[in-house]
Chains A and B, each alone.
Chain A
Amino acid sequence: MPVDSSKIFQKKKQHILETWIKNQLANDALREDLISNEEARNQSEELLDALLNKLHSEKQGAAPADGFDPVIELLETLSITRARKGYSPRETGAFLFSLKDALIKTLSEEIKDDPKSLYEESLKISTLMDDLTIASFETFIKGREEVILRQTDEIAEISTPVIRVWDGILALPIIGTLDSSRTQVVMENLLSQIVATGSSIAILDISGVPAVDSLVAQHLIKTVSATRLMGAECIISGIRPEIAQTVVHLGIDLSGIVTKSSLASALNYAFAALRLEVRKISRETK
């Protein structure tokens, strides 16, 4: 007579849940700082319920063609929430593996006397749980990636302000690494601001750029060329000594570009180009 493992699980549900929770506690997978004990228990119970229901209906031949939908859906929500809350992958994995342990342990207790069916059922449960773990990992990583993408977008948005420092002078402090997509954003912002304000000088301040390699330098040169094509002059300022060293060692030719070491000297240059003069007012003239 074939062993109906889903019946066994249904019967021993409470026991499995207890073992599972115990396993989780033993594994440190239950992060009390991130999730309350109560909540973790509810989550575990919900997941176990869904899994057992699924197993049961599958036994009855009523399983839908696409398999473990409600379980996977539940798992996906679970792992995405966990990813956002900052769980480590190990903790998320341990959460599911401890369920597998609990299930197999129950099985071995229930069908002690029939090694063959015990083996078969264990194998089935293992495969099933492994599939679930893989699915949960996929969503876990997806959740993490969403977080990263959102942060990247935010950084790109906040880090390219074009400042009008004077009538006809724009400044653009660049903070963080310059890659192709950011250069595109920087360039578009700068050029549209040049048109909007009719500025003839743009200062590109790179004191916040951690490193300049040949690619970054090429992006800078592109931006300067595009600005020049528009009819404005572009000054690069904020070049640190280390960056000057790298640029020269890499053999990048910046000779066609006006470069200044600080924003102040760039501004000074811009004033001179616009024939402006900044003077201290002497008290007597008041």
Chain B
Amino acid sequence: MDKIPILKMGSFLLVTIQVDLYDRLALNLESDLIQMVDKIGAKGVLIDISAVNIVDSFMGRILGNIASMSRILDAQTVVVGMQPAVAITLVELGLPLNGVRTALNVEKGMALLQSMIPPEKGDEENIEDDHNSF
């Protein structure tokens, strides 16, 4: 049975999806990921879907679900590397994934996660504006 590896990086979880997701795999990923978030008390989840070329409404919903579930468990979700075609498909399907944060690539996604979770300053979402810079 295929399994998508979930890597732990400090207090973040990193999931890179290298194959096209079919429904069963996506459902497994959802439950595995949530278990993992709970087990290690992750603060952030980063999902890299740059290799995913095909997406359907089910996949879109799973992504939304993962984000909502993680938020309940106090972890932020960032989806990175979405292909243009996938983005257009999701929008056309009416799934703009409003609860999910996104970034262009893993690097920027990590930076975003880190900026969202300041080490010891509470876990309020903090957008990267520094007010002293202007």
Q: List the interface of chain A (C-beta within 8 A of B).
A: 184, 187-188, 191-192, 194-195, 198-200, 222, 225-232, 256, 272-273, 275, 277
Contact = CB atoms under 8 A, between A and B. Distances in A.
B129 interface: yes
Interface of B: 79-84, 86-88, 90-92, 96-98, 102-105, 108-109, 128-130, 133-134
A165 B92 CA distance: 29
A191 to B, nearest CB: 3
Given A200-B104, A275-B133, A231 B109 contact: yes
B92 A222 contact: yes
Contacts of A277: 133-134
Contacts of B134: 272, 277
B84 A200 contact: no
B91 A222 contact: yes
B104 A229 contact: no
Given A231-B80, A231-B109, A277-B134, 12 more contacts: A187-B88, A191-B84, A191-B88, A195-B104, A198-B104, A199-B104, A222-B91, A229-B96, A231-B81, A272-B129, A272-B134, A275-B128
A230 B102 contact: yes
Contacts of A275: 128, 130, 133
B96 A231 contact: no
18 contacts: A188-B84, A191-B87, A191-B88, A192-B84, A194-B104, A195-B84, A195-B104, A222-B91, A222-B92, A229-B82, A229-B91, A229-B96, A229-B102, A231-B82, A231-B102, A231-B109, A272-B133, A277-B134
A200 B102 contact: no
B2 to A, nearest CB: 25
A228 B105 contact: no
B108 A231 contact: yes
Nearest to A223: B91
**Interface of chain A, helix or strand or loop or mixed?**
helix
Contacts of A199: 104
A78 B23 CA distance: 60
A234 B80 CA distance: 16
A178 B130 CA distance: 36
A273 B87 contact: no
A228 B102 CA distance: 7
A197 to B, nearest CB: 10
A256 B97 CA distance: 13
Contacts of A229: 79, 82, 86-87, 90-91, 96-97, 102
Contacts of B88: 184, 187-188, 191, 226
Nearest to A277: B134
Contacts of B128: 273, 275
A226 B86 CA distance: 9
A214 B96 CA distance: 18
Contact of B96 (A191, A200, A225): A225
A1 B131 CA distance: 105
A182 to B, nearest CB: 14
Contacts of A232: 104
A23 B96 CA distance: 66
A20 B75 CA distance: 86
Nearest to B104: A231
Contacts of A230: 82, 84, 87, 102, 104
Of the candidates A184, A195, A230, the one having the most CB atoms from chain B within 10 angstroms of its own CB is A230
User: Which 3 A/B pairs are nearest by Cβ-Cβ distance?
Assistant: A191-B84, A225-B96, A231-B102
Contacts of B83: 195
A251 to B, nearest CB: 19
Of the candidates B83, B96, B105, the one having the most CB atoms from chain A within 10 angstroms of its own CB is B96
Contacts of A184: 88
B89 to A, nearest CB: 9
Nearest to A195: B84
Contacts of A273: 128-129
